[in-house]
Amino acid sequence: MFSNLAAKAALKKVGLPSDTLDSFNKWAKSDSSSSSSSSSNTKPNKLTKSPPAAGSNDGTTTTKWNISIKSLPLTVQPWFTPKPPPIPISAPPKIGDFCPVDSTNRGLSPSLGTGKKVLVVFLRCVGCAFAQKTFTNLRSISRKYGPERIACIAISHSSREATQKWIDLLGGAGGVKVIIDEERALYASWGLGLGSVWYVLNPTSQVAGFKEKGWLGARVAGSLGGRSAAAKNSQGGKGVGGKQQQEEEEETGPTTTMGNKWQEAGAWAVDGRGKIVWGGKALRADDVMELDAGVAALGIA
């Protein structure tokens, strides 16, 4: 898995460092080598919730990996499909629409439709160089105009710890209000779901990824220990309890610590009445969007 050079290069282009893939390969080999060796006609290894089979009637033995996605390194987990958000994904609000304001807008609703002009930015996962550009642009706008003229809000679906570490590495939030939405309910209410393979791995994004030097995912993951707390706690699991915990992890999918590479991004400018005057969904993974155009649409620039 992940040994194909073309696939390895494609993943690196969108933010997964090559040393992560090397460490994953070493991990996979060490995990498989810990199990009993099989004969030449042994069936291939595969992920499973079940323990290794004792043996078949014809004398052959099937070796299976008894692992969960959450036992993978934090930098690998964002490439797996996460569990769906708790609400259906709505259509993205268009210019002229009133912005979504409901119970899912935790921490966001008080800033919308209350007379204040707002720039709302939904980020891709922490460590993404394109998300970094978007956030630093938003921070510059906040510092330039001040909170009295425009409220700048960034939504992150990565964990609070990973998001804070990422922002610290970027030099702080400045005047930007950061809201954590690990369940991606806010994303869903604003029409942002998971992007397609083309959305993430299209040629334009790959070329842009090669040019970027600001990938911080490995540093953020390293500061958190490289693996999720759930994975560390389950490593020593024995008997029925360990198996049950593993099954629960597999059912819920990968950890949300680092966010997800497939999550769509977007940005909107909202006037004092709560009406959308600019914005939409990012066209590709590398689309950082022209936030200054949103400021101009609000009549500030």
pLDDT digits (tens, 9 = 90+) for 73-84: 766 677 777 888
pLDDT at 164: 93
- Least confident residue range of 23-27, 107-111, 203-207, 223-227: 23-27
Has residue 100 got a pLDDT over 50?
yes
Burial class of residue 1 in the structure, from the number of CB atoms within 10 Å of its CB (0-12 exposed, 13-18 middle, 19+ buried) = exposed
Select the more confidently predicted residue: 73 or 220.
220
pLDDT tens-digit profile of 23-40?
444 544 444 444 434 334
Count of other CB atoms within 10 angstroms of residue 242:
14
Has residue 112 got a pLDDT over 60?
yes
Choose among 42, 46, 44, 45: nearest CA to 55.
42
Binning pLDDT at 50, 70 and 90, where does residue 122 land? very high
Binning pLDDT at 50, 70 and 90, where does residue 91 land? very high
Binning pLDDT at 50, 70 and 90, where does residue 226 land? low
pLDDT at 37: 41
Find tokens 């706690």 and name the residue. 233
Has residue 252 got a pLDDT over 60?
no
Binning pLDDT at 50, 70 and 90, where does residue 245 land? very low
Choose among 119, 106, 114, 188: nearest CA to 147.
119
- Least confident residue range of 12-16, 33-37, 265-269: 33-37
- Three-state secondary structure along the chain? CCCCHHHHHHHHHCCCCHHHHHHHHHHHHHHHHCCCCCCCCCCCCCECCCCCCCCCCCCCCCCCECCCHHHCCCCCHHHCCCCCCCCCCCCCCCCCCECCCCCCCCCCHHHCCCCCCEEEEECCCCCCHHHHHHHHHHHHHHHHHCCCCCEEEEEECCCHHHHHHHHHHCCCCCCCEEEECCCCHHHHHCCCCECCHHHHHCHHHHHHHHHCCCCCHHHHHHHCCCCCHHHHHHCCCCHHHHHHHHHHHHHHCCCCCCCCCCECCEEEEECCCCEEEEEEECCCCCCCCCHHHHHHHCCCC
Binning pLDDT at 50, 70 and 90, where does residue 43 land? very low
pLDDT at 41: 43
Q: Mean pLDDT over residues 267-280, rounded?
A: 94
Q: Mean pLDDT over residues 146-166, rounded?
A: 93
- Mean pLDDT over each residue of the chain, to the nearest integer: 74
Which residues 6+ apart lie within 8 Å of 40 measured at CB?
A: none
What is the share, in percent, of the chain residues with pLDDT greater than 90? Answer: 36
Q: Mean pLDDT over residues 192-220, rounded?
A: 82
pTM as predicted: 0.70
